[in-house]
Amino acid sequence: MSDLKSDRVSVRRLRERGAYDSKSIYAILDEGKVCHVGFNVDDQPYVIPMAYARVDNKLILHGSVLSRLMNKLAGGVNVCVTVTLVDGMVLARSAFHHSMNYRSVVVLGKAIPIIKASEKAQALNALVDHLIPGRSKASRPGSKQELKATHVMALEISEASAKVRSGDPKDDKEDMQTDYWAGIIPMATAYGAPRPAADLKMSIPLPDFSQLL
Amino acid sequence: MSDLKSDRVSVRRLRERGAYDSKSIYAILDEGKVCHVGFNVDDQPYVIPMAYARVDNKLILHGSVLSRLMNKLAGGVNVCVTVTLVDGMVLARSAFHHSMNYRSVVVLGKAIPIIKASEKAQALNALVDHLIPGRSKASRPGSKQELKATHVMALEISEASAKVRSGDPKDDKEDMQTDYWAGIIPMATAYGAPRPAADLKMSIPLPDFSQLL
């Protein structure tokens, strides 16, 4: 377990919500499926949703070699990758103390292109398996051309923080005897029943997705 | 319905996924609950999750006057606000064509502080009501001090795009006769049963959250 704190990633407001150990940070990264990647073009920030995976102390990102984002990243610009899990609405007696329960991670750094074909293939397998456990072995592996058409980037998780809010609303003393309802409405990502593609061969049975669902 | 396209927000890759009309963009913004706000400090992008609401052609953001993000925004920096709804995993026969179904919106611009107390209060009510329909009238309204402690910002939705992927995987012809399963695993945000705060007065009944749940 390593400490990933820096001044730049320190939680300034509500410091008790911050965590900087790799264990807390990895747990959030491993649960999320989509990250939001921030990068600059001419002092204009852009924030783009992407799939990702964590492999050891690295975040794997990928995209077409034709993508602007991927070419920016490959050029070694500063990025911020944020993963947010929303756990619920927090309803306080006062409008002011309404909040959300969430777990989020911010990772700062520069992504480095993975060049070697075997390492690219391995990283892409990790990405598919992060989204759907075991899926890399249950689909047709990437070809040489497909690997060539894909930028794969690794962002070292060396400067990062987690921010977590959990539990009940925190109302002011004066409001505790009011008649407003207070509590939590839980939220989570739900997976529906897998739906075969319209053109799937009839003879192919539904795989076991129990690790995901 | 207005056209919010600019060169900066144009979808470059897979152009058929882009939309620039306010109707498509508002529909996504109105369904989301959390946005990711991108801003720069010393050429380092930061991406922070926040609650938001849409009011007419504006996005409302808020936060403590002590928050760095809020003070940055109030200073008139360029921001990017991204809202992403994840609709499902797309499992193709080939690892390469795996994808996700999603609807996302990117809004670029500068946020402008709302100063007038009555307008601030109105914007904050919209924010609470966006998260939980009707809630602003079912909680104790903000006090003068609470309003003073809160920065409320409006970002005009004048330069924005939506990007949408939906439907089945698109495999290569050569893969159509393989025996790999292909299809969709739907994903959505699920709300759990509301849970009263541990210190809630026993006499207070559970409100009707049917508009949310």
CATH classification at residue A80: 2.30.110.10
As a whole number of angstroms, the distance between CA A61 and CA A63 comes to: 7
Q: Average model confidence (pLDDT) for chain A?
A: 95
Give me the mean pLDDT over the A23-40 stretch. Answer: 97
pLDDT for B2 equals: 80
Number of domains in chain A: 1
A117 touches chain B (CB under 8 A): no
In a domain, B101, yes or no: yes
| pLDDT of A1 | 67
Are the C-beta atoms of residues B189 and A189 closer than 8 Å to each other? yes
CA A209 to chain B, closest CA, distance in angstroms equals 9
Terminal-residue alpha carbon distance, chain A: 29
What does each of the 213 residues of chain B score in pLDDT, given as a tens digit?
688 999 989 988 888 889 999 999 999 999 999 999 999 998 899 999 999 999 999 999 999 988 878 888 888 899 999 999 999 999 999 999 999 999 999 999 999 999 999 999 999 999 999 999 999 999 999 999 999 999 999 999 999 999 999 999 999 999 999 999 999 999 999 999 999 999 999 999 999 999 887
pLDDT beyond 90 at A16: no
A62 in a domain, yes or no?
Answer: yes
Asked if A84 lies within 8 A of B136 by C-beta distance, the reply is no
In a domain, residue B193? The reply is: no
Q: How far apart are CA A120 and CA A141, in angstroms?
A: 12
When CB atoms are compared, the residue of B13, B124, B182 closest to A95 is B124
Report yes or no on A25 lying in a domain. yes
- Residue B65 maps to a domain: yes
pLDDT band at A15; cut points 50, 70, 90: confident
Q: How far apart are CA B65 and CA A194, in angstroms?
A: 46
Residue range A165-184: average pLDDT? 97
Tell if the CB–CB gap between A84 and B142 is shorter than 8 Å.
no
Kindly state whether residue A128 falls inside one of the protein's structural domains. yes
Judged by a CB distance cut-off of 8 A, whether residue A210 touches chain B is no
Distances from the Cα of A2 to the Cαs of A8, A22, A54, A103, A159, in angstroms? Answer: 17, 5, 16, 19, 11
pLDDT for the residue A14? 84
Residue A68 CB partners (closer than 8 Å, separation 6+):
A41, B12, B13
pLDDT of residue A181: 98
Q: Alpha helix (H) ranges present in chain B?
A: 22-31, 68-74, 117-131, 144-148
> Which of B140, B201, B211 is best to mutate for the A interface (most A CBs within 10 A)?
B140
**Is 0.85 exceeded by the ipTM?**
yes
Strands A183-191 and B18-19: unpaired
> Which range of residues forms the domain containing residue A75?
15-186
User: Chain B contact for A66, CB < 8 A?
Assistant: yes
Report the residue of chain B nearest A140, measured CA to CA: B94
Residue B48 lies in a domain: yes
Between positions 15 and 54 of B, the ones with CB within 8 A of A are: 33-34, 36-40, 43-49, 51
Residues of B in contact with A102 (CB under 8 A): 34, 49
Count of Cβ atoms closer than 10 Å to residue A80 Cβ? 28
A196 is a domain residue:
no
- Measured in angstroms, the CA of B58 and the nearest CA of chain A are apart by 19
A136, closest residue in chain B (CA to CA): B95
- List of residues 6+ apart from B66 with CB closer than 8 A: A13
